[in-house]
């Protein structure tokens, strides 16, 4: 009979769905960056920088708030207090990334500054991807610890 999943596993399902939505937004941002870097004068509405970056800002704020809640990172700390410093580092990265996207929002509001968007946007995308991998490692460590305690 297979081992049951840790009871807290279900609490992370919504966060994982957020990750999928963010991945779609990041793909669209990459296309936007390529279009701007190619020097296109007009972008289709779905690639409008102010819309895409504003949506990213809203999504990240909501996503990070959910992760930092007692139901997510709080559960991780309760289950495995040794992960507290890793969680603190992830929370700091949340703040840094929100500041970075705020700077992108300001650039996106001014059409004449769009050529400045691709480099910092791509940097932020890379940072988000590294951050998501770090969160995956954190959860893997949590579930490994929980499985080890059940043996």
Q: Is residue 5 part of a domain?
A: no
Q: Is residue 46 part of a domain?
A: yes
Q: Is residue 2 part of a domain?
A: no
Q: Is residue 90 part of a domain?
A: yes
Q: Is residue 1 part of a domain?
A: no
Selection from 33, 35, 47 nearest residue 117 by Cα? 33
Q: Is the pLDDT of residue 11 over 60?
A: no
Q: Is residue 28 part of a domain?
A: yes
How do residues 12-56 score in pLDDT, each as one tens digit?
555 556 667 788 889 999 999 999 999 987 899 999 999 999 999
Selection from 93, 95, 77 nearest residue 127 by Cα? 93
Q: Is residue 3 part of a domain?
A: no
pLDDT value of position 139: 82
Contact 104, 120 (CB under 8 A): yes
Counted domains in the chain: 1
How do residues 100-134 score in pLDDT, each as one tens digit?
999 999 999 999 999 999 999 999 999 998 998 88
Q: Which domain holds residue 78?
A: 10-150
């Amino acid at each position: 009979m297979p081992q049951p999943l840790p009871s807290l596993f279900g609490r992370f399902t919504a966060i994982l769905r957020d990750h999928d939505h963010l991945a779609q937004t990041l793909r669209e941002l990459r296309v936007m960056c390529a279009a701007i870097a190619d020097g296109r004068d007009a972008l289709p509405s779905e690639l409008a920088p102010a819309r895409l970056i504003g949506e990213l800002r809203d999504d990240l704020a909501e996503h990070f708030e959910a992760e930092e809640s007692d139901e997510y990172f709080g559960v991780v700390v309760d289950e495995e207090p040794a992960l507290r410093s890793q969680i603190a580092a992830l929370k700091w990265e949340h703040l840094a990334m929100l500041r970075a996207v705020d700077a992108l929002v300001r650039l996106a509001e001014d059409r004449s500054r769009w050529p400045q968007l691709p480099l910092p946007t791509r940097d932020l995308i890379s940072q988000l991807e590294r951050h998501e991998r770090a969160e995956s490692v954190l959860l893997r460590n949590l579930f490994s610890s929980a499985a080890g305690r059940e043996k």
